[in-house]
Copies of this chain bind each other. A is one copy, B any other.
Amino acid sequence: MAATTVSLIAVPGVPLIRPGDDLAAILIAAIAAADLALRERDVLVLAQKIVSKAEGRYVDLADVSPSPRARRLAEETGKDPRLVEIILGESDEIVRYRRDILIAAHRLGFVMANAGVDQSNIEHPSGDGRVLLLPRDPDGTCAQLRQRLEAHFGVALAVLINDSFGRAWRNGVVGVALGASGLPALADMVGEPDLFGRPLRVTQIALADEIAAAASLVMGQAAEGRPAVLVRGVDWGARPERPARALIRPKETDLFR
């Protein structure tokens, strides 16, 4: 990672996104309008919310009939039973729960609060609530968006989707990569020879998570004004591309589940 300066630049003028919107076209227009001449290996980081919205990943709570299991879990967590039903439908496993907390393993492998089901910043025209699920295939969507952007701008790019995750032992949330294309989401760094002369040790850097966290500094969290951030200057050398799913620790090696 040989860069000496990295820039995080909000892409201005991204409108509110609606189901069915052509996100690639919208991003291309915003980038062009802002005169942000894209460079080789620029990384475009997109907030999960705009990807989910373009995919129409809304669920109206009024349409949900909670199962007995969802009702029990709702009682124990103090959450809406319909929301819990949706979370169960998105998850492979409930990892931990207590009052106000429900940590699930999403079907895509992410261990996160509420399986990523989002109640905030959602317009609810009907008066009743609706929630927003994670994108269907974040790595695949990144690859598609990247292809469209590269075809238009004529340079090799990377695309990330980020979201905010809590952590087991630390307060507060940080930006994390849900999807990635065009960069090594997990990058092998050859370290120094170890203390006892054993072969070189390899450290794996969660490069896409570090970029996702950096982009969050510009996106902010509460509002949706800056859902696309250009990260310029990250140098991953000749390391091969790996998707964000490479960042998910396999359950077999998980010491905390």
Contact = CB atoms under 8 A, between A and B. Distances in A.
Interface string A44-58: 000000000000000
Given A168-B254, A169-B248, A192-B120, A213 B5 contact: no
Contact of A249 (B121, B169, B221): B169
Interface in A111-146: 111, 119-122, 124, 129, 131
Nearest to A111: B169
B168 A4 contact: no
Contact of A222 (B80, B173, B203, B247): B203
Nearest to A219: B1
Nearest to A130: B195
A209 B213 contact: yes
Interface stretch (A8-16, A17-25, A152-160): A8-16
A248 B171 contact: yes
Given A214-B214, A249-B171, A7 B4 contact: no
Contacts of A124: 195
B249 A234 contact: no
A4 B249 contact: no
Q: Which 8 interchain pairs have the tightest Cβ spacing?
A: A172-B206, A214-B214, A129-B195, A213-B213, A111-B169, A4-B10, A168-B256, A1-B220
Given A10-B4, A191-B120, A256 B169 contact: yes
Given A171-B186, A210-B214, A210-B216, 7 more contacts: A1-B221, A4-B218, A103-B255, A122-B195, A129-B195, A167-B206, A171-B246
